[in-house]
Amino acid sequence: MDKIGVGYASVTDIEKKYVMDALDSQRLSQGKYVAKFEKMFANMHGHKYGVMCNSGTSALHLAILALKEKYNWEDDAEILVPAITFIATSNSVLHAGLKPVFVDVDIKSYNMDPDEIEKHITEKTRCIIPVHCFGMPCEMDRISEIAKKHNLRIIEDCAEAHFAKINGKTVGSFSDIMACSTYVAHTLTTGVGGVMCTSDTELSGMLRSLVAHGRACTCERCIASDGNQVCPKRLKTDMDRRFTFVRLGYSYRVGELEGALGLGQLERVDEIMGARHKNADYLIKGLEPLEKYIQLPRHPENIEHTYMMFPILVKSESPKSKNEIVKYLESKNIETRPMLPLLNQPIYKEIFGDIEKDYPNAEYIDNNGFYIGCHHGLGKDELDREIEALTEILTGGGYSYLK
C-alpha cells in the first residue's frame, strides 16, 4: 500500500520548460527567472518588492536584521513570537542576536492569541512575528492595532500560508516585511528557497544587499540582466559597486533553476490551491462524525485557509490518546507529524528552562496535536483511507492493532 505523505511537490511541463530554458541559456546564477518570480510573488502578496533567498529561515533572519539596522534596535531588543511554530521562527531571532519572547496561542486557530500579546510587551519590545500556522491566517487586524499602539514593527511568517487571505486581503501585506518559504513540501515550491517581500524601498535595498554578502549594488537590473548589458550605475564610483561591500552580509542567494521552478508554480496557483481546498473540504466533511473526539481545522467565512497540512487536535473526550491514534495511522501507511512543538524541544529547555507549563494552550497542543496530509497530490482514494483509518481507531474498529 502506497504511503500517504504530508507533503507533495508537483512539477509539470510548465516548470520543466522554464528550467530547460534556464539551462539552455547557460546562466545558472540569478537572472530573468529569479527577477520575474520575485516581482510576481511580491505583487500577489500586496507588496512592491520581492527578494528571493535560499530558505524561509534565511528570509526571517534577514528581515529581522534589516529592521534592526533601519530602526537601530539594541542587541537586547525583544521580539514576540508564538509558542507554537516551527523552530526556525524563534531561531532566527536568536541568530540575529535578539531575544524571542513567547506568546501563547489560540486553541482553535493555533496562532498567536491577540489577547495574550500585550502582557508580554516591555520597554525592550521592538517587533511582533505572527505566524500563519498550517495555512490559517492570524488575526492581523487586531495584531496590527496592537503594533501601532506600541510602535512595533511586524514581520509576517507566511512559510505555511502562501496566498491565504483575510477579508480578501492577502497575508503578508499587513507587515513591514513578509518572510516565506518555498521548500520542497510547501504549498508552492522551488525545491529550496524563500522569499522576502516589502513595500519599503529602503528595506528592499537592505535585504538585497544582505542576501549577497552585503554588497553596495542592490539594483534589480543587475539581477534581471541577460549578461550582455552593463548597468549604467555600476562604474559611477571608483570601485565597481558589485564588489563594494557596505555591511556584513550572507551568501543566501539562489539561482535561475529555483526561479524557473517558482515562476512555473505561480502560473499554476489556482490549480494547486483549488485542489488543496477541495481535499480539505472533503476531509472535514468525512471526519465530521468524529468531532466529539477531534478538533478539525475550521475557520471563519472571512478567512481563506490554504491547508499546507491538515491539523488535528485530540480532545479530552477521545477514547484514544494522540500517541495511540498516530501509531494506528502510521500502521496504515499514513504519515503523521507533531503540530510544531517548540517550548519542549531539548535545546530550548536548555536555553530558556522548563517554561512550557507557562503556555497552557501550547502545552495542550504539544501533547495532543498532530497533522496529516491534504495536499494537491492526493485523490479521493487516499483521502478515504485517511477518513477510514481515523474512524476505525476512534470508533472501535482499529482497536486490534493496539492490543
pLDDT number for residue 74:
96
Amino acid at 51: V
Tell me whether the CATH fold assigned to 13-266 matches the one assigned to 269-402.
no
Cα(387)–Cα(122) distance, integer angstroms:
46
Cα(126)–Cα(178) distance, integer angstroms:
16
Which DSSP state fits 296? -
Q: Are 394 and 294 in contact (CB under 8 A)?
A: yes
pLDDT number for residue 296:
98
Stated pTM of the model: 0.94
CATH number of 13-266: 3.40.640.10
pLDDT number for residue 399:
43
Which DSSP state fits 137? P
Q: Are 110 and 138 in contact (CB under 8 A)?
A: no
CA angle 393, 397, 403 (to 5 degrees): 75
The residues spanned by each domain of the chain are 13-266, 269-402
CA angle 321, 131, 98 (to 5 degrees): 110
Per CATH, is 269-402 categorized as 1.10.150.80?
no
Cell of 295: 478538533
Question: CA nearest 313: which of 364, 270, 259?
Answer: 364
pLDDT number for residue 401:
40
Tens digit of each residue's pLDDT, the chain (403 residues): 699 999 999 999 999 999 999 999 988 988 999 999 999 999 999 999 999 999 999 999 999 999 999 999 999 999 999 999 999 999 999 999 999 999 999 999 999 999 999 999 999 999 999 999 999 999 999 999 999 999 999 999 999 999 999 999 999 999 999 999 999 989 999 999 999 999 999 999 999 999 999 998 776 655 555 555 666 666 666 667 677 889 999 999 999 999 999 999 999 999 999 999 999 999 999 999 999 999 999 999 999 999 999 999 999 999 999 999 999 999 999 999 999 999 999 999 999 999 999 999 999 999 999 999 999 999 999 999 999 999 999 998 654 444 3
CA angle 157, 168, 369 (to 5 degrees): 45
Question: CA nearest 102: which of 78, 123, 126, 138?
Answer: 78
Cell of 376: 494537491
